[in-house]
Amino acid sequence: MTQLFNDILAHYSWQGLALVGVLLVLFFVQLYYYAIAYYRIYRYRLMRRRKKIAENPPISVIVAVRGENEVFLTDELPVLLHQDYDPFEVVVVYIGGDIDYYDELQRIRDNYSNMRLTRMGGDSRIYISTKQALNVGIKSAQYDALLFTTTGAIPRSEQWVSLMAKGFERGMVVAAPAVPQFEHNTLKTFLMRMVEFQRERNAMARAVRDRLYYAPRSNYGYTRRLYDATRGFNHLGIDIGDNDLYLQAIATPERTAVVLSRHSVVMEERPERWSEWLELMRYYSSTREHYPATAKTFARRERGSRVLFLLATIVAIAVLPLELKLGALGLLLLRYLIVVATSRRVARRMGERGIVMRYWIYDILGPAVEWMIGSKHSHNTPKLWR
């Protein structure tokens, strides 16, 4: 055995064997993420969790509208009001001073018994934070189960509230996926979609293991009892964080329920200009410095091992003997097949479609885009609570 080892060492050198060892370690790290951690999203079934309350809890959907958003009036609000569920209500908190716009909201409210309307603002010198508006919406809501969404977002199905209610039957904190929507389907927008998909996949992989640290701003909820018990939002010095920093404070394994269905997905409108999208991602990333170390490490380890695996494969193909070159290529191909197969199944659970043929683009360029997002701070520093 010793002679065999010496012969192998003499033929391949210790540097070559070390490179092979590094390649294998990185391959198994990637295998853990895509064959185990992310695959849990595909295998997750909400109905396996025990019910804690009776069926069909009343739901209050809360949305804050800042300024005169015409798309919200014509496209988004009608979808919210026509959800196939009973009983539920839509609580609209209007932040602005336009009388005509508020009158139009009142006219709609008068035609729908399941809509509530509250107005804040009117003085442009005083900034009203999103957390202040949501707090008013929570106090205005008549039901205990609170579901939050945003302007610029539309539920994909009329069963959205119904499916989220299934989450409230089994938990006090509920989260579901959101999908970015772009006007055009180009390679650039595909890369943007996949960067957001990966970020949400990391969060959902932790959430289905009862370690929720983030939910899309347009698709999460919790109970009023929990909100009152925890005395409302934390991190009051910033305008964002209600969907991540606050959830981190209230979510426990016993309280959390994740809803994964193509009918529970919310579509979020996104800008297509590269600079605008980067700025949006940087703004949403402003709270990440407060995330638990385990959440940040989970995402960084996948990204880092992916980059190092690709680099190690390139070096192996360049310097190792033919049989090891072929082995490195085989590992590269096997990893990619596992990645694509898992990503396709997970994407379907999270509402994404049509990713298989172009996934290699994100697989290679995704870490560079994440570096671009993290290399600068947002120009729109989260507003202070005044």
**Residue 10 C-beta-side C-alpha neighbours within 13 Å:** 6
Q: Helix, strand, or coil here: 352? A: coil
pLDDT band for position 376 (50/70/90)? confident
Q: Are residues 97 and 149 in the same domain?
A: yes
| pLDDT value of position 386 | 33
240-279 per-position pLDDT tens digit: 889 999 999 999 999 999 999 999 999 999 999 999 999 9
Tell how strand 153-155 and strand 266-269 pair up: antiparallel
Q: Are residues 60 and 142 in the same domain?
A: yes
Dist CA 343 CA 34 (whole Å):
8
pLDDT band for position 21 (50/70/90)? confident
- The tokens for 71 are 């798309």
Dist CA 126 CA 120 (whole Å):
11
- The tokens for 84 are 């196939």
User: 13 in a domain, yes or no?
Assistant: no
The residue among 131, 227, 224, 214 whose CA lies nearest residue 175 is 214
Q: Which residues pair with 147 in a beta bridge?
A: 61, 221
Final residue in a domain of this structure, among 254, 287, 320: 287
Q: Are residues 273 and 331 in the same domain?
A: no
Calculate ∠ Cα 185-190-192, nearest 5°. 120
pLDDT band for position 50 (50/70/90)? confident
Task: Give residue 38's domain range.
Answer: 18-42+294-374
| pLDDT value of position 13 | 63
Q: Are residues 64 and 207 in the same domain?
A: yes
Phi, psi of 66, deg, nearest 5: -100, 115
Q: Are residues 56 and 33 in the same domain?
A: no
Q: Is the pLDDT of residue 4 over 50?
A: no
Q: Are residues 212 and 233 in the same domain?
A: yes
What is the count of structural domains for the chain?
2
Dist CA 15 CA 9 (whole Å):
9
191-221 per-position pLDDT tens digit: 999 999 999 999 999 999 989 999 999 999 9
Q: How many CB atoms lie within 10 A of CB 53?
A: 14
- The tokens for 147 are 């579901």
The stretch 318-347 carries a mean pLDDT of 92
Q: Are residues 251 and 301 in the same domain?
A: no
278-323 per-position pLDDT tens digit: 999 999 999 998 999 999 999 999 999 999 999 999 998 888 888 8
**Phi-psi category of 177—alpha, beta or left, where left has phi over 0 and alpha has psi -120 to 50?**
beta
Q: What is the DSSP string of 85-135?
A: -SSEEEEEEEES--HHHHHHHHHHHHH-TTEEEEEE---TTS---HHHHHH
72-98 per-position pLDDT tens digit: 999 999 999 999 999 999 999 999 888
First-to-last CA distance in the chain? Answer: 74
Q: Helix, strand, or coil here: 145? A: strand
Higher pLDDT, 101 or 325: 101
User: 208 in a domain, yes or no?
Assistant: yes
